[in-house]
Amino acid sequence: MKRYNPQEIEAKWQKVWDDTKAFEVDEKSSKLKSYIAEMFPYPSGYGLHVGHVRNFMIVDAIARFYRQLGHNVMRPFGYDTFGLPAENYAIKTGLPPQETTLTNINHFREQFKRMGMAVDWSREINTSDPEYYRWTQWIFTRLYEKGLAYQAENLQWWCPHDKTVLANEQVEGGKCWRCGNEVKKKRMKQWFFKITAYADELLDEIDNLDWPEKIKTMQRNWIGRSQGAEIKFVVKNTMREISVFTTRPDTIFGATFMVLAPEHPLINELVNSKTRAAVNNYCETAMRKTEVERQENREKTGVFTGSYAINPATGEEIPIWVADYVLSTYGEGAIMAVPAHDERDYEFATKFSLPIKEVVKPHFIDSVNTPIDGKEWKERRACIAIVHDPKTDKYLCVEWLKQPWTAFVIGGMEPEDDGDIIKTAEREVHEETGYRNLKFKQVLPGEVVVEFYAQHKGINRRALYNGVLFELVDDERDELSADEEATQRAVWLNYDQIMNEPRMTGFKDQILYLERALGQNLVWTGEGDMINSGQFDGMESAEASEEIVAWLEEQGVGKSKVTYRMRDWLISRQRYWGCPIPIAYDAAGKAHLIPNDQLPVLLPKITDYQPDDSGRSALAKDKDWLKVTIDGEEMTRETDTMDGYACSSWYLLRYADPQNVEEAWSKSKVDYWNPVDFYVGGDHAVAHLLYVRFWCKFFADEGLLSFREPVKRLLYNGYINAPDGKKMSKSKGNVIDPIDIIDQGYGADALRTYELFIGPYELDAAWDPRGIGGVYRFLNRAWTVVQEYLEANEKGGDDSAALMRAQHSAVKRVTEDMYRNSFNTAVAALMEYVNELYKLKLDGFNPQWQEALEVLVKLLAPFAPHLACELFEQLGHEERIEDAGWPEWDDKYLVADEVELVVQVNGKVRAKIMMAADELENETVVLEIAKGQENVQAFINGKQIIKTIYVKKNRLVNIVVK
RNA sequence: GGGCGAGUGGCGGAAUCGGUAUACGCGACAGACUUAAAAUCUGUUGGUCUAAACAACCUUGCGGGUUCAAGUCCCGCCUCGCCUACCA
């Protein structure tokens, strides 16, 4: 028998695919189109490792599956080649990145082909190819003409190691995403793309994306829209105004000081001779700090400027401070500080003894806590209050109903008492014993007096309501006596006992109120009723928010405003190896676009790639290149290059029309192929995936596209880590090379199948060097079962229902799993199918086995395409398996003659009975048989059968007895 | 601090609608073949109890709840992971 030899058959079929251009497609097809792509890789000099390649495997399995289903599948590939590693390599070796990049691409392509990828190689893209980047530059000019590419001087993230600025998205925890060194702020004139112009659409459209929730949340957080107000504060004795942004305009009456970020431009004008030195000193120190240093020390610091502002709501003078807890980059770089309702302001106010003024009083929460008595009580909104006895400094827990103002004593417990606080309440309420008789009378708005009913009369206690302690009315006794019905289980607890009582853990909000009332925690950041706020007193804070903004607007000192956390996209890079920005400056320093007929602006070949601190890229050293003539005027070129993310923001469109020299893409081709049906990757959750969406919307506005979202479905795959669970990396030396695995004899098919079998695609997994052996064994068994069939020379026996069932069940399972991207269970189903074929024992040549094996091979093709092609050919087909279709199943073959009935008594399995399938139809008979079982009898004998449940579809009987 | 996930055998994991928990694979153990090893094939493999089997009981992070029935639904908690972080 011929042995399974992956090396041999893989080389054979890879050559066939290459020679016949097996996966090249065009848009002249009546089939349904599917466009399936991975996030294209950066072709590093190290090549691929098994961690990288998983998303290629996923894409390939999906692409081959849809191809077999009869779709017109485009599965392109490309390389994201601009970027630092190639340039750093050039600095080190002097080899031009243009050359090393091509070497790397060739290496990648080689590796890629050895994995048997079903790629349309006519669509290969390389972003550093001038034929590609001329269009990146052309897009820049379109953005520039629409005012969406602009220059601004600002403080920017600067990586002192890589000598370039970075976008916010590229600063990770205060460090450069490439080299890991701490970044600094540097004031520079830089190019931006105005992504914020699309902030609302980018945010709102997230809801409609068929993307993983995780990514959608990250994008929402990144965009970070806050609805609030911009309010102007006049600086006392000047005409100056300071604008602040706040999401809580309702708290303006509580604004007792202002704080400016150290970078705030007005600071110089606010200081006086006494404060100038200290303020300057503080600002300089703050601005020298790196992001990491600022994060490390959260202790509030700050200095008083010497100036005062007028609170537009109260007319009061409030001091203006400078502190680094206010960020220059968010909102207006200045805040109105409301220490009573903002924890940071509170901290600051406490530290510097600034006034704290409460303006929002929390009202009773109506969140439902623990249900007291099942459903009935769930409907009623209740919560826990804690009654404080000032004389003994102890507390009583009270269950509190919102309407009417009654409450139940539910608590109070001895520390030793293991009766549950909730249980107690349940029992008492349930039994209607009548001591739910704490009664609360509302005497003033928001205030309540608590009266005890008969049993409780005469107790002087105070109740906590609306976060305030109230006296109970009577004052006769200090202690509750044990024989008093209502309180026989109630014991006064002191504060610490309550806080440490594990059964109080559900009452977080109540504890918060308690803390507040006791002065332990004075900051209330939630909603509530307005106090100390003039005409707004008594209003709900949410309502007051709108009213106050309207009121401020009338006086021209405020307006409602939306602020985003997302900033514009900084795209200048002071590096050589990137797409040149198509701009030149005239003698006056004014920027001009390089005209379209002078594109592309080619990257010149240079010899000294070393960047420096000048803030200009190494391109500045090429004096000839710098000179350019536009409309007869001599100008100097921009030396910055574009962020690599610019190049990758439109490649998904270029794949549809990669050879076009007339335009970036032809609209008709893109309209045919795009948007992408499946986009697969495990990185770039915000940056790339946000930029792609941004540009798509811009192109749509320009009439270049007829859709506004570029990616229909995103699969975000997990990583494959090293066997020790750590990320694979060259520096850690734990890299596993896929080509090594292939060459060890396992072959590409085993590698592919294993990477999909290892676990759900969206979760991380650790590479198990033994795991691939199991998959290889499985493929080997598939091979063997076909060989045995081919070598059988006798005519076989009758049709076997078991074989039909195995076949149709495998088709159903694999197909359904493929549709829901559950690749690991699809492989498991295939393994079971092969195991069954083994067990069924081939009895010779017959058409049924032929079909069963052809089905196996077709199902196998997305995972192990070489093996599938080879076996398909061996089974006598000249037709290529990609075009041989996807098998279908018929449910009628899935029904077995004999089925297993499960009999439960009180939900526990007591017997399993084999019975004829048609017997299931008659419920009476089924129940009869079920009850007749010996082991079932043992559990129902002498007991009363309350009811029986028969679930036919699950072949299950449950007998309930008492 | 905030947000989002996850928690099931020795391990990776399965259970799609609430209906037989532990599919499939790895590992381990036993056997066949072999001079031997590898490869291959055939069994066994959650725990307690047991010499073994049957039966019983326990078991999906913990505590409650709903249900005839809960890994799955509800409430509360714990742990781990990822993201984010002085965003006003």
Is any atom of strand B within 7 angstroms of residue A910's beta carbon? yes
ipTM over 0.95: no
Provide the pLDDT for residue A575: 87
In this predicted model, which residue has the larger pLDDT, A49 or A688? A688
Asked if residue A384 has pLDDT above 80, the reply is: no
- CA-CA-CA-CA dihedral for A609, A613, A614, A616, to nearest 10: 50
Is any atom of strand B within 7 angstroms of residue A261's beta carbon? yes
Closest C1' nucleotide to A685's CA: B83
| pLDDT grade for A511, boundaries at 50, 70 and 90 | low
Both structure tokens of A29: 């097809």
**Among candidate residues A601, A631, A574, the one with its CA nearest the CA of residue A159:** A574
Closest C1' nucleotide to A827's CA: B24
Is any atom of strand B within 7 angstroms of residue A298's beta carbon? yes
C-beta within 7 A of nucleic chain B, residues 103-162 of A: none
Closest C1' nucleotide to A286's CA: B86
Nucleotides of chain B touched by protein CB (<7 A): 2-5, 11-16, 19-21, 23-27, 39-43, 55-57, 65-66, 68-70, 75-77, 83-88
A543 CA to B22 C1' distance (Å)? 55
Taking only the tens place, the pLDDT of each residue in A718-757 is 888 888 777 787 777 788 889 999 999 999 999 999 999 9
Among A1-5, A55-59, A658-662, the range scoring the smallest mean pLDDT is A1-5
Provide the pLDDT for residue A292: 63
| pLDDT grade for A478, boundaries at 50, 70 and 90 | very low
Q: What is the average per-residue pLDDT within A838-844? A: 73
Enter the pTM of the model.
Answer: 0.83
Taking only the tens place, the pLDDT of each residue in A854-896 is 999 999 999 999 999 999 999 999 989 999 999 999 988 887 7
Is any atom of strand B within 7 angstroms of residue A604's beta carbon? no
Closest C1' nucleotide to A757's CA: B25
Taking only the tens place, the pLDDT of each residue in A598-612 is 989 999 998 888 888
Provide the pLDDT for residue A279: 94
Closest C1' nucleotide to A939's CA: B56
3-state SS track over A482-543: CCCHHHCCCCCEEHHHHHHCHHHCCCHHHHHHHHHHCCCCCCCCCCCEECCCHHHCCCEHHH
Taking only the tens place, the pLDDT of each residue in A295-323 is 666 788 999 999 999 999 999 999 999 99
Taking only the tens place, the pLDDT of each residue in A766-820 is 888 888 999 999 999 999 999 988 887 666 655 578 888 899 999 999 999 999 9
Is any atom of strand B within 7 angstroms of residue A716's beta carbon? no
Taking only the tens place, the pLDDT of each residue in A131-150 is 999 999 999 999 999 999 99
Provide the pLDDT for residue A463: 32
Provide the pLDDT for residue A911: 86
Q: What is the average per-residue pLDDT within A79-85? A: 91
Asked if residue A484 has pLDDT above 90, the reply is: no
Provide the pLDDT for residue A298: 75
A910 CA to B50 C1' distance (Å)? 21
| pLDDT grade for A392, boundaries at 50, 70 and 90 | very low
CA A617 → CA A6, A151, A161, distances in Å?
Answer: 50, 17, 14
Taking only the tens place, the pLDDT of each residue in A447-477 is 222 222 212 222 222 233 322 222 222 222 3
Most confident of the ranges A413-422, A624-633, A838-847 = A624-633
Is any atom of strand B within 7 angstroms of residue A909's beta carbon? yes
A433 CA to B65 C1' distance (Å)? 24
Is any atom of strand B within 7 angstroms of residue A296's beta carbon? no
Provide the pLDDT for residue A289: 72
How deeply is A721 buried, as exposed, middle or buried, from its count of CB atoms within 10 A (0-12, 13-18, 19+)?
middle
C-beta within 7 A of nucleic chain B, residues 370-409 of A: 370-371, 374
- Pairing between β-strand A257-260 and β-strand A225-235 as defined by DSSP bridges: unpaired
Is any atom of strand B within 7 angstroms of residue A246's beta carbon? yes
Q: Which amino acid is at A554?
A: E
Q: Assign residue A556 a region: left if phi > 0, alpha if psi is -120 to 50, beta otherwise? A: left
Is any atom of strand B within 7 angstroms of residue A324's beta carbon? yes
CA distance A815 to A882: 16
| pLDDT grade for A375, boundaries at 50, 70 and 90 | very low
| pLDDT grade for A900, boundaries at 50, 70 and 90 | confident
Is any atom of strand B within 7 angstroms of residue A460's beta carbon? no
A837 CA to B9 C1' distance (Å)? 28
Provide the pLDDT for residue A280: 94
Is any atom of strand B within 7 angstroms of residue A218's beta carbon? yes
Q: CB of A348 within 8 A of CB of A320?
A: no
**A109 CB-side CA count, 13 A:** 19
A268 CA to B79 C1' distance (Å)? 51
Provide the pLDDT for residue A898: 80
Residue A718 is given by DSSP the state P
Provide the pLDDT for residue A871: 95
Asked if residue A716 has pLDDT above 70, the reply is: yes
Is any atom of strand B within 7 angstroms of residue A228's beta carbon? yes
A758 CA to B12 C1' distance (Å)? 6
Provide the pLDDT for residue A798: 57
CA distance A163 to A485: 78
Closest C1' nucleotide to A251's CA: B88
Closest C1' nucleotide to A686's CA: B83
Q: What is the average per-residue pLDDT within A576-583? A: 95
Provide the pLDDT for residue A795: 62
Asked if residue A394 has pLDDT above 80, the reply is: no
Provide the pLDDT for residue A519: 53
Q: What is the overall mean pLDDT for chain A?
A: 80
| pLDDT grade for A157, boundaries at 50, 70 and 90 | confident
A620 CA to B79 C1' distance (Å)? 55
A682 CA to B83 C1' distance (Å)? 14
Residue A196 is given by DSSP the state G
